[in-house]
Amino acid sequence: MATIRLTMAQALLRFLDNQYVSFDGEETKFVQGVFGIFGHGCVVGLGEALAAKENGLPFYQAKTEQGAVHAATAFAKENNRRSILAVTSSIGPGALNMVTGAGTATANHIPVLLLPGDIFACRQPDPVLQQIEIPHDYTNTSNDAFRSVSRYWDRINRPEQLMSAALNAMRVLTDPAETGAVTLALPQDVQGEAYDYPEEFLEKRVHHIERRHPNASQIQRTVETIKHAKKPMVICGGGVRFSEAGEALKTFCAAFHIPFGETQAGKGTILSDDPYNLSGIGSTGSQAANRIAKEADLIVAVGTRLGDFTTCSKWLFQNPACRFLSINVAGFDAYKMNSEPIIADAKATLEALLSPLKEATYHSQWGNRIAEEKQAWNIEVDRLYHQEIPGSLSQVRVLGELNDNLLPPDTIVVSGSGSIPSDMQRVWRTRKKGCYHMEYAFSCMGYEIAAAVGTKLAHPDSEVVAIVGDGAYTMLHTELLTSLQEQRKIIIVVLDNAGFHCIDNLQHSQGIVHYGNEWKIREKSTGRLTGKSLSVDYALNAQSWGAVGLHADTIEELKSSVETALKETRSVVIHVHVAPKSMSQGYESWWRVGTAEVSSNPEVVEAWKDLQTDIAKTRKF
């Protein structure tokens, strides 16, 4: 068998550069590059291989390791999980900085390959710089922290171990049901060790992502379940997007007069003006979707994790006769809510249901309710879009102006934490498919700007706009510098309400006094953060990075700033002051939080009583 002598790191890059996926007959190069920050744990091993002239994978220099993983996650999502970026770091703190990003990718079922440096496998120089020594288990390093947030984890202690580890990594990364973060920990001495790798291992390999077609029994069970439903409702999850099942779901709902609500991951798969699209569902859902969900006697969950925000902590579905049916490639998700599990591809299943349900002349009994609820919700969204607050801008008004008047319909909008995702799931009107990018399974503060960079790498000719709160901006905005370095223009709209007001809302809703969430100076008289609000100039901050910084505190200034930003070739930050508490509200939803059972504050005690009332309305499994 022919072999070639390479270091483990060189062999790894050659292997990655020759991986392809095939989906519906279309072949795509799977690994498109490597993001990361070099340190002593990777620069002379994997770094040497990346720097070599024979390496074909581009290297993107991140500014934080967490940001690198977020950018790679967004890149993979925008490529419908069929192209990815690997991410590398040094050992110790560099690796641990990636753990949050790994959790974000895994929670969202997005493939990301993580290649953190590790301590010396030979142990000769131990303890090395940045090594954490665990006296009771010397095999345990900082990279073991990735185990709980990775779908596959391995440590390459000998160069020949790379072969089985790399194949297992690809197996998981290309599996729609299993995918998420994959971690291959790379001891720094092993990265540079040579081995005679079989050329067979390094040859082009195509991984076939095949649709799991439903069998006759699954279709029969699904048809019988739907036939007995008078008022069914569909939940459109992220699996609809990744299966490219938007048109199939649109056809299905129209054929049988079935409304649907969108999860954050599913939103934008079918446009907002579709007559059966009731916008977001659940704790951050619309009035229309939530009202319909409360009456439904069947929920058909398509490609959704059925998280607590989608189900209102299992409170939303108030009809005691309501049953659940889940179409999902992941059995783990398909069994939730005591569903009838249909473990199959979303598009293939929806298409297979059309003929037998038409033969049965099935039609829901919603009548005019769908159109009436949708019309009422559109009126409410229009009201929010024109909301006036004397002397200030409301958050929903700014979103409305951006959505209705200022941004081109094909702008890709990115967000992920705070109250902005709540507002956008409810009121953002999607006018082009695939232009709504929200991370909400992990709701990771700091995802937004790094994700905008990853999105821009995936769609270099599209306008990409990150809409972030001041809290998320301050938590992680450093990949703004990466966008400038790569000359990939993004626009960042910072909605500044001087604090973590999403959590302040939650805190106050449970009777707790405003404490620790508003950005205020500590007062000597109270000993608490109750003084004047902090004043930060985010536009000026952007200018210090080399970006364009603009201010917009009126509708006219917002319009002018967006017009300027769209004409710019550099990245732009638009700083907009918005009034606290000017986001949208709950719209007949609920969310369970762990309220204190006893307290010296009577409002907290009352909130706990209210909590028990709502818990009594929930489904227990």
SS (H, E, C) 372-401: HHHHHHHHHHHHHHCCCECCECCHHHHHHH
Tokens of 438: 């929200």
Q: Lowest-pLDDT range, 5-14, 215-224, 361-370, 499-508?
A: 499-508
pLDDT mean across residues, the chain: 97
Q: Which CATH class is domain 3-208?
A: alpha beta
Angstrom distance (rounded) from CA 57 to CA 421: 34
Torsion of CA 72, 74, 80, 84, to 10 degrees: -10
pLDDT surpassing 90 at residue 581: no
Q: For 11-44, how does the pLDDT look when each residue is reduced to its tens digit (9 = 90+)?
A: 999 999 999 999 999 999 999 999 999 999 999 9
Q: CATH homologous superfamily for 216-373?
A: TPP-binding domain (3.40.50.1220)
Name which of 103, 21, 100, 88 is nearest 57 in CA terms. 88
DSSP state of 300: E
Residue type at 447? Y
Look up residue 414 and give its amino acid: V
Round to whole Å and give the CA distance between 170 and 207: 8
Share of the chain above pLDDT 90, in %: 95
Tell me how long the chain is. Answer: 621
CA–CA separation, 127 and 227 (whole Å): 66
In Å, what is the CA distance from 217 to each residue of 224, 239, 344? 11, 22, 12
Higher pLDDT, 517 or 481: 481
Phi, psi of 576 (to 5 degrees): -120, 120
For residue 576, is it left (φ>0), alpha (ψ between -120 and 50) or beta? beta
**Three-state DSSP class for 515?**
coil
Query: 450 with 67: CB under 8 angstroms?
Result: yes
Is the confidence at residue 457, as pLDDT, over 90? yes
User: And the tokens for 283?
Assistant: 């704790």
242 confidence band (pLDDT: 50, 70, 90):
very high
Overall pTM > 0.95: yes
What are 170's two structure tokens? 């690809």
- The token pair that represents 33 in the structure block: 């590059």
Query: Across residues 297-311, what is the average pLDDT?
Result: 98
Residues 506-525 have a mean pLDDT of 91
CA–CA separation, 324 vs 337, rounded Å?
7
Sign of the torsion formed by the C-alpha atoms of 193, 63, 51 and 182: positive
Q: What is the pLDDT of residue 501?
A: 85
In sequence order, what DSSP letters do the residues of 53-120 get, joined into one string?
TT--S-EEE-SSHHHHHHHHHHHHHHTTTSSEEEEEE-STHHHHTTHHHHHHHHHTT--EEEEEEE--
What is the pLDDT at residue 77? 98
Q: Is 120 in contact with 192 (CB distance < 8 Å)?
A: no
Mean pLDDT of 274-287: 98
DSSP assignments along 350-368, one per residue: HHHHHHHHHHTT---S-TT
* Mean of pLDDT values over 199-220: 98
Q: Is the pLDDT of residue 471 over 90?
A: yes
Helix (H) or strand (E) holding 298: strand 298-302
Question: Tell me, which fold does domain 389-498+535-577 have in CATH?
Answer: Rossmann fold (3.40.50)
Residues near 408 by beta carbon (within 8 Å), at least 6 away in sequence: 463, 566
Instruction: Look up tokens 């770094």; give the residue.
Output: 47
Q: How confident is the model at residue 502 (pLDDT cuts 50, 70, 90)?
A: confident
The pair of structure tokens assigned to 524 is 């000597």
Closest C-alpha among 523, 522, 521, 515 to residue 534? 521
Q: What is the pLDDT of residues 351-396, one digit of tens each?
A: 999 999 999 999 999 999 999 999 999 999 999 999 999 989 999 9
pLDDT in tens, 588-613: 999 999 999 999 999 999 999 999 99
CA separation for the pair 104, 239 (Å, rounded): 17
Query: What's the burial of 78, exposed, middle or buried (CB within 10 Å: 0-12/13-18/19+)?
Result: buried
**389-418 pLDDT, tens digit each:** 998 999 999 999 999 999 999 999 999 999
For residue 107, what pLDDT is reported? 98
Sorted by where each begins, the domain ranges of the chain are 3-208, 216-373, 389-498+535-577
Measure the CA–CA gap between 415 and 438, rounded to whole angstroms. 5
CA distances from 551 to 453, 532, 541 (A): 22, 22, 12
Q: What average pLDDT does range 81-104 have in this prediction?
A: 98
Residue 327, φ and ψ in degrees, nearest 5? -105, 115
Q: What is the pLDDT of residue 621?
A: 83
Q: What is the pLDDT of residues 329-348, one digit of tens each?
A: 999 999 999 999 999 999 99
User: Which of 75-79, 320-324, 515-519 shows the lowest mean pLDDT across its residues?
Assistant: 515-519
Q: Quick check: 270 and 249 in contact, CB under 8 A?
A: yes
Distance CA 542, CA 539 (A): 5
Tokens standing for residue 366: 């919603």
- Please state the rounded mean pLDDT for residues 107-127: 97
Query: Residue 1 pLDDT > 90, yes or no?
Result: no
What pLDDT score does 514 carry?
87
**pLDDT at res. 232:** 98
Determine contact, residues 503/445, Cβ cutoff 8 Å: no
Mean pLDDT value across residues 244-250: 98
Question: Residue 55: its pLDDT value, please?
Answer: 97
- pLDDT band of 508, cuts 50, 70, 90: confident
Q: How many CB atoms lie within 10 A of CB 348?
A: 17
Q: Quick one: DSSP state of residue 168?
A: H
Tell me which DSSP letter residue 338 carries: G
| H or E element in which residue 415 lies | strand 412-415
Q: Extract the tokens encoding 208.
A: 């076939």
Q: What is the pLDDT of residue 504?
A: 85
What residues are paired with 464 via a beta bridge? 412
Asked if 3-208 and 216-373 have one fold, the answer is yes
pLDDT for residue 129 is more than 90: yes
181-187, strands of its sheet edge to edge: 59-61, 31-36, 84-89, 112-118, 181-187, 152-155
Distance of alpha carbon 114 from alpha carbon 183, whole angstroms: 5
Both structure tokens of 184: 């291959």
